[in-house]
């Protein structure tokens, strides 16, 4: 270390700038003194610092070292300690970008970089270790001790420091006695080392089956790997079952061979043991760290440390794995980020920092000179447009591997089905006659089926049967209808629940206005399960029917077990919400039934058509993955809707072209850029007042940025959640610069804070 620098007075240590992990919007941070007693402080160190008049404990990250005092030197406080966690400088830079782009305090962006388990040191233990002191025995050692010593001297340097027990094993000493004597004699020295200890969690790997690449796969791989080693963006559009994962693996191999590291992002729900095993099996020797919510805190900590220490060179995980601490300065240069199922909305984080992992992945790759590979069977229109306009290189896999065909999709009009059923049903059946017949024949032939209904519970509406009365049960705190859930515990009735604030109460028996007996509408998965049990009692009784949704799956473990039971063939009918639509590869599936394709179609959100197309295409893609042809039946009240007819034809390109034309005409993303500000307040008037203040400030921006469009203030489609009214303002502009300029103007006036009252969402994907 150089002695005193210009900014360091000998006694006190250097001045550093620290950004606290709080919602304070101060990108420069606060100045602290780093006393020499705490050790050398570097950019990226997470530190504990005193804050405010009472010196409350606060944590933050050092963003600059050797700075000049910006306040009276006597008022600069000393840091308390280093926490032991250090972020790579690249992640500090990435946080800065996120803070600017997503309009959120830098401290909040920094705070998202490392998992809580790492910050809290879960599972961290100090263990005793031994090193050789370099001294030699001055007199003859007793026999056993002497033998131990000779063996220890013969060990190579890299065995040390070593745990005492481990050392005893290595030198075949029967007890720790001789080793302890060597410590007493000063020949060995005790020290401490920090480790993260956890229940074993070596992910199991699948034995790699070496497939022969198809010509199409080979062409894609060659073309992507041709420009590794620099920032580049690729979009792989490959139909379901076209072998995208195999492409990822081969590209990864080349990145690893170059001595670089890689991140593989997968939506949480698709991060099944099956998926993980494929990667672990192929890359065991280079180290694969897995980051997902099914891990315990100490396991998460351990995996993170394996990345930070260079032990693991591939990180696979859900959204937050994007911040895997690969550090070029430590010999772990990031070479590739793969974003599988890049269209998936789970990549969007809905609280601060509100970011989209796919977009941040592109930024991280750009900052670190890495390649990005986005993959999907139904790319987001954002990515598709980027590819069409040459910002991403487009690669295509148009056919399934091994000669499997994309399944034939039959659209059935629910109106016709209901007419056919009118005579024998006492109430509206969820499975129309066509789907019922297909399910029956699939079961008879021993095949497996997947049934999708993207709605939980038993019924979405509880209302008065009398139209003139018109009463509907809504949540007291939210502007939404309450959903009826039957419970096994209660013999009759059950509870109604609000899916937004989670309020719950008993199902009312009668209309509170006119006292008629209530009726229910809008069936959910629970009711379909009941109907299935009624239709196929023998299948239900044998435990061969399983429902997968947010109510039945309490943890990742439940979910993985359920999928395991389906993969083993123990379960023959899998019913569920979109949880079952994603990325699963089960060769036995012959029939996929979409109970109601219309659940998203009428949502007041400009992406309703895109969502519907994705959902239907993705779930249809689960069928017919083996050589036996699969069948898909889609029930809908909108049989002519292009989202449904084009998904049925597996015609993504036409859908994308037509939908982009719609967006062009209505000047909506991805043709334009959008940011949305939602003001929330208990009192409608207050919310409106704050929102009007923002709108007025935006008017001023429009004076010199005339392309900025401002919509609102207006109540959100869900106008109240948890007792707070919600008022939205949407900013739309042809380019991202205009949006950013407008947000900066608001931010400078303190109008775009990310706090309990205001939420700023840049590139929003949900507009409810």
Q: Is 473 in the site for Zn ion (CB under 5 A)?
A: no
Could you tell which of Zn ion, ligand ADP, none binds residue 469, using a CB distance below 5 to 8 A set by kind?
Answer: Zn ion
Q: Is 511 in the site for Zn ion (CB under 5 A)?
A: yes
Distance CA 109, CA 95 (A): 5
Could you tell which of ligand ADP, Zn ion, none binds residue 672, using a CB distance below 5 to 8 A set by kind?
Answer: none
Contact residues toward ligand ADP (CB under 6 A) are 211-214, 217, 238, 240-246, 401-402, 585
Among 20, 464, 532, 752, binds Zn ion (CB under 5 A): 464
Among 415, 425, 490, 514, binds Zn ion (CB under 5 A): 514
- By beta-carbon proximity to ligand ADP, the closer residue of 396 and 551 is 396
Phi, psi of 252 (to 5 degrees): -60, -45
- By beta-carbon proximity to Zn ion, the closer residue of 180 and 519 is 519
- By beta-carbon proximity to Zn ion, the closer residue of 151 and 501 is 501
CA 342 to chain centre: 11
Q: Is 495 in the site for Zn ion (CB under 5 A)?
A: no
Distance in Å, CB of 334 to ligand ADP, minimum: 23
Query: Is 612 within 8 Å of 596 (Cβ atoms)?
Result: no
- By beta-carbon proximity to ligand ADP, the closer residue of 242 and 378 is 242
CA pseudo-torsion sign 618, 622, 624, 625: positive
CA distance readout (Å), 580 to 272, 276, 553, 594, 649: 12, 17, 12, 11, 21
Q: Is 471 in the site for Zn ion (CB under 5 A)?
A: yes
Distance in Å, CB of 262 to ligand ADP, minimum: 17
Could you tell which of ligand ADP, Zn ion, none binds residue 464, using a CB distance below 5 to 8 A set by kind?
Answer: Zn ion
Question: Residue 709: enclosing H or E segment and its boundaries?
Answer: strand 709-721
Residue whose pair of structure tokens reads 């109240």 in the numeric block: 720
Distance in Å, CB of 248 to ligand ADP, minimum: 8
- By beta-carbon proximity to ligand ADP, the closer residue of 248 and 326 is 248
Using alpha carbons only, give the angle 151, 154, 155 rounded to the nearest 5 degrees.
95
Q: Is 179 in the site for Zn ion (CB under 5 A)?
A: no
Query: Is 27 within 8 Å of 38 (Cβ atoms)?
Result: no
Between strands 261-265 and 334-340, the pairing is parallel
Closest CA to 63 of 107, 98, 10: 107
Could you tell which of Zn ion, ligand ADP, none binds residue 242, using a CB distance below 5 to 8 A set by kind?
Answer: ligand ADP
Distance in Å, CB of 726 to Zn ion, minimum: 12
Distance CA 131, CA 191 (A): 7
Could you tell which of Zn ion, ligand ADP, none binds residue 513, using a CB distance below 5 to 8 A set by kind?
Answer: Zn ion
Q: Is 477 in the site for Zn ion (CB under 5 A)?
A: yes
Q: What number of CA atoms fall less than 13 Å from residue 765's CA on the CB side?
A: 20
202: CB partners within 8 A, 6+ apart: none
Radius of gyration of the chain (CA): 30
Could you tell which of Zn ion, ligand ADP, none binds residue 514, using a CB distance below 5 to 8 A set by kind?
Answer: Zn ion
Q: List the structure tokens of 35.
A: 């006393």
Could you tell which of ligand ADP, Zn ion, none binds residue 401, using a CB distance below 5 to 8 A set by kind?
Answer: ligand ADP
- By beta-carbon proximity to Zn ion, the closer residue of 106 and 498 is 498
Distance in Å, CB of 630 to ligand ADP, minimum: 14
- By beta-carbon proximity to ligand ADP, the closer residue of 25 and 340 is 340
Could you tell which of ligand ADP, Zn ion, none binds residue 406, using a CB distance below 5 to 8 A set by kind?
Answer: none
- By beta-carbon proximity to Zn ion, the closer residue of 266 and 475 is 475
3-state secondary structure of 578: helix
CA distance readout (Å), 360 to 40, 277, 349, 426, 767: 31, 26, 11, 53, 21
Could you tell which of ligand ADP, Zn ion, none binds residue 471, using a CB distance below 5 to 8 A set by kind?
Answer: Zn ion
Q: List the structure tokens of 218.
A: 């080979």
Q: Is 513 in the site for Zn ion (CB under 5 A)?
A: yes
Instruction: Summarize as ranges the residues that interact with Zn ion (CB under 5 A).
Output: 464, 469, 471, 475, 477-478, 498, 500-501, 503, 511, 513-514
């Amino acid at each position: 270390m150089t002695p005193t620098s210009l900014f360091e007075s000998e006694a006190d240590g250097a001045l550093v700038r620290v950004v606290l992990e709080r919602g304070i919007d101060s990108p420069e941070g606060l100045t602290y003194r780093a006393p020499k007693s705490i050790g050398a402080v570097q950019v990226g160190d997470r530190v504990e610092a005193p804050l405010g008049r009472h010196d409350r404990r606060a944590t933050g990250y050092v963003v600059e070292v050797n700075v000049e005092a910006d306040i009276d030197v006597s008022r600069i406080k000393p840091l308390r300690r280093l926490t032991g966690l250090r972020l790579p400088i690249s992640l500090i830079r990435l946080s800065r970008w996120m803070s600017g782009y997503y309009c959120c305090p830098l401290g909040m962006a920094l705070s998202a970089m490392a998992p809580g388990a790492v910050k809290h040191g879960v599972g961290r233990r100090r263990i005793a270790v031994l090193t050789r002191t370099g001294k030699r025995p001055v007199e003859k050692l007793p026999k056993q001790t002497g033998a131990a010593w000779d063996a220890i001297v013969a060990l190579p340097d890299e065995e040390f420091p070593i745990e005492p027990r481990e050392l005893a094993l290595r030198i075949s000493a029967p007890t720790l006695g001789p080793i302890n004597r060597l410590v007493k004699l000063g020949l060995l020295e005790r020290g401490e080392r920090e480790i993260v200890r956890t229940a074993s969690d070596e992910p199991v790997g699948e034995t790699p089956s070496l497939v022969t690449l198809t010509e199409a796969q080979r062409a894609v791989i060659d073309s992507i790997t041709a420009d590794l080693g620099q920032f580049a963006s690729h979009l792989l559009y490959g139909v379901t079952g076209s072998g995208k994962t195999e492409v990822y693996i081969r590209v990864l191999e080349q990145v690893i061979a170059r001595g670089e590291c890689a991140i593989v992002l997968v939506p949480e729900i698709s991060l099944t043991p099956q998926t993980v095993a494929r990667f672990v099996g192929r890359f065991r020797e280079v180290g694969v760290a897995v980051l997902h919510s099914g891990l315990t805190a100490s396991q998460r900590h351990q995996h993170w440390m394996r990345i930070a220490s260079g032990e693991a060179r591939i990180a696979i995980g859900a959204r937050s794995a994007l911040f895997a601490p690969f550090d070029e300065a430590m010999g772990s240069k990031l070479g590739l980020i793969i974003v599988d199922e890049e269209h998936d909305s789970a990549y969007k984080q809905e609280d601060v920092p509100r970011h989209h992992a796919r977009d941040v992945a592109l930024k991280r790759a750009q900052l670190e000179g890495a390649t990005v590979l986005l993959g999907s069977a139904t790319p987001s229109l954002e990515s598709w447009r980027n590819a069409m306009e040459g910002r991403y290189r487009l690669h295509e896999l148009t056919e399934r591997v091994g000669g499997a065909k994309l399944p034939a999709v039959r659209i059935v009009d629910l109106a016709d089905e209901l007419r056919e059923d009118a005579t024998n049903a006492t109430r509206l059946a969820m499975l129309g006659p066509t789907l019922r017949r297909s399910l029956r024949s699939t079961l008879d032939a021993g095949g497996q089926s997947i049934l999708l209904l993207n709605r939980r519970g038993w019924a979405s509406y509880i209302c008065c049967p009398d139209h003139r009365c018109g009463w509907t049960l809504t949540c007291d705190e939210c502007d939404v209808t309450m959903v009826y859930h039957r419970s096994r515990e209660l013999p009759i009735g059950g509870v109604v629940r609000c899916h937004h604030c989670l309020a719950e109460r008993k199902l009312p028996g009668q209309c509170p206005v006119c006292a008629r007996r209530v009726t229910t509408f809008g069936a959910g998965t629970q009711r379909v399960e009941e109907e299935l049990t009624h239709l196929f009692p023998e299948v239900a009784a044998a435990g061969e029917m399983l429902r997968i949704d947010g109510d039945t799956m309490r943890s990742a473990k439940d979910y993985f077990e359920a999928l395991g039971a389906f993969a083993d063939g123990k379960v023959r009918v899998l019913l569920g919400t979109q949880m079952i639509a994603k990325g699963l590869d089960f060769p036995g599936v012959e029939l996929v039934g979409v109970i109601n394709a219309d659940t998203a179609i009428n949502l007041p959100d400009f992406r309703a058509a895109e969502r519907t197309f994705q959902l239907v295409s993705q779930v249809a893609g689960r069928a017919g993955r083996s050589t036996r042809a699969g069948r898909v039946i889609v029930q809908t009240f909108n049989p002519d809707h292009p989202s449904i007819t084009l998904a049925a034809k597996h015609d993504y390109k036409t859908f994308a072209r037509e939908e982009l034309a719609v967006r062009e005409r209505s000047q909506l993303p991805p043709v334009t850029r959008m940011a949305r500000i939602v003001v929330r307040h208990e009192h409608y008037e207050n919310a409106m007042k704050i929102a009007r203040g923002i709108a007025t400030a935006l008017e001023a921006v429009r004076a010199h940025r005339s392309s900025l469009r401002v919509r609102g203030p207006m109540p959100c489609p869900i106008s109240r959640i948890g007792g707070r009214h919600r008022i939205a303002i949407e900013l739309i502009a042809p380019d991202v610069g205009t949006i950013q300029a407008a947000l900066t103007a608001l931010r400078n006036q303190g109008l775009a804070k990310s706090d309990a009252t205001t939420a700023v969402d840049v590139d929003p994907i949900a507009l409810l």
